Amino acid sequence: MQRSLRFLLVRVVLAFAASFGGAAQAETARVAAASDLKFAFDELKPLFEQTHPPHRLELIMGSSGKFFQQIHHGAPFDLFFSADVDLPKQLVARGKAITPVTTYALGRIVLWSAKVDASRLRLQDLERSEFRKIAIAAPDHAPYGARAKEALQASGVWPKVESRLVFGENIAQTAQLVDQQAAEVGILALSLALSEPLRKKGAYALIPQELHQPLEQAYVLTTHGQNNAAARAFADFMRSAAARRVMVRYGFVLPGEAAP
């Protein structure tokens, strides 16, 4: 009887220890991600959590430039998915992130409108008087806004439309401006134009990539997150076939693939 009780007690203790150990390994990664990733990451988050229990992701979407400043000043993010490869590189140089800086996609910019058939538009068409307001992301801190400005300048349109520009804090807010018709047309991320909400309401035209610097997008593990198992697992997951399929569906050009 005593032997049976001792055996049962040992089993209970071992089961509790195993349960406690598993709980200790469960982590949540706080991921700062460029807002062009919103719809792709809305799909990737549950897919990751289903295949990597018990890890969890907390996604914070916004401007890459603003996230750069926040991480530089100590914001507790574990991973930074930037729309501009230079920002993660600068964080590494400043000791706020660790190598490697990993390119995960090339982004594309498009003309999009819910008011006119944007599939027929070129940048030169923005000179027309019917386009009283044209939305782009703020070029000083949003990479998609910087590329939009470059394209407008390269096409010779910038001086003629500058006074009609309205600026979103990030590319998602820029899309909202056009969606709600605070602007007749906007220069958005292809990934947003392909999302279900925008795809149902409007059309888009790709802007030639020769008109702007490449939108090389990269992620980096911050020094805050270097020991976070969930952050490392999600970084690895982004290289998986399942994650790549989602990214391709939202128009991202993956490393090693040719742009359309």
| Six-digit token string for 113 | 């409108």
**Are 118 and 197 contained in the same domain?**
yes
CA-to-CA distance for 203 and 222, rounded, in angstroms? 38
**Are 117 and 207 contained in the same domain?**
yes
CATH of residue 43: 3.40.190.10
How many other C-beta atoms lie within 10 A of the C-beta of residue 173?
Answer: 17
What percent of the chain has a predicted confidence (pLDDT) above 70? 88
pLDDT of amino acid 260: 58
CA-to-CA distance for 89 and 8, rounded, in angstroms? 55
Does residue 238 fall inside a structural domain?
yes
Q: How many domains would you assign to the chain?
A: 2
**Are 220 and 101 contained in the same domain?**
yes
CA-to-CA distance for 69 and 236, rounded, in angstroms? 25
17-21, 70-74, 123-127: the lowest-pLDDT one: 17-21
CA-to-CA distance for 54 and 27, rounded, in angstroms? 7
Annotated binding residue 171:
yes
Contacts of 57 (CB under 8 A, 6+ apart): 28, 29, 31, 45, 48, 49, 230, 234
**Are 207 and 121 contained in the same domain?**
yes
The most distant pair of C-alpha atoms in the chain lies apart, rounded to whole Å, by: 93
CA-to-CA distance for 165 and 156, rounded, in angstroms? 15
- Can you give the residue range of the structural domain that contains 223? 30-106+216-249
Please give the model's pTM, rounded to 2 decimal places. Answer: 0.88
**Are 44 and 86 contained in the same domain?**
yes
Taking residues 97-120, report their average pLDDT. Answer: 96
Does residue 164 fall inside a structural domain?
yes
Strands (DSSP E) found in the chain: 28-34, 56-62, 79-82, 97-107, 109-113, 134-137, 165-168, 185-189, 203-206, 215-222
Does residue 15 fall inside a structural domain?
no
**Are 126 and 163 contained in the same domain?**
yes
Does residue 123 fall inside a structural domain?
yes
**Are 203 and 81 contained in the same domain?**
no
**Are 77 and 37 contained in the same domain?**
yes
Exposure of 186 by Cβ count < 10 A (0-12 exposed, 13-18 middle, 19+ buried)?
buried
What is the helix, strand, coil percentage profile of the chain, to 5? 50, 25, 30
Pairing state between β 97-107 and 134-137? unpaired
Query: What is the helix (H) or strand (E) element at residue 126, kind and residue range?
Result: none
Does residue 93 fall inside a structural domain?
yes
**Are 238 and 169 contained in the same domain?**
no
Annotated binding residue 207:
no
Asked if pLDDT for residue 161 goes beyond 80, the answer is yes
24-33, 45-54, 110-119, 132-141: the lowest-pLDDT one: 24-33
CA-to-CA distance for 45 and 138, rounded, in angstroms? 27
**Are 61 and 138 contained in the same domain?**
no
Does residue 46 fall inside a structural domain?
yes
Does residue 2 fall inside a structural domain?
no
- Would the CA dihedral through 11, 12, 18, 21 be positive or negative? negative
Q: What is the pLDDT of residues 185-232, one digit of tens each?
A: 999 999 999 999 999 999 999 999 999 999 999 999 999 999 999 999
**Are 205 and 226 contained in the same domain?**
no
**Are 44 and 123 contained in the same domain?**
no
Does residue 8 fall inside a structural domain?
no
The mean pLDDT value of the chain amounts to 91
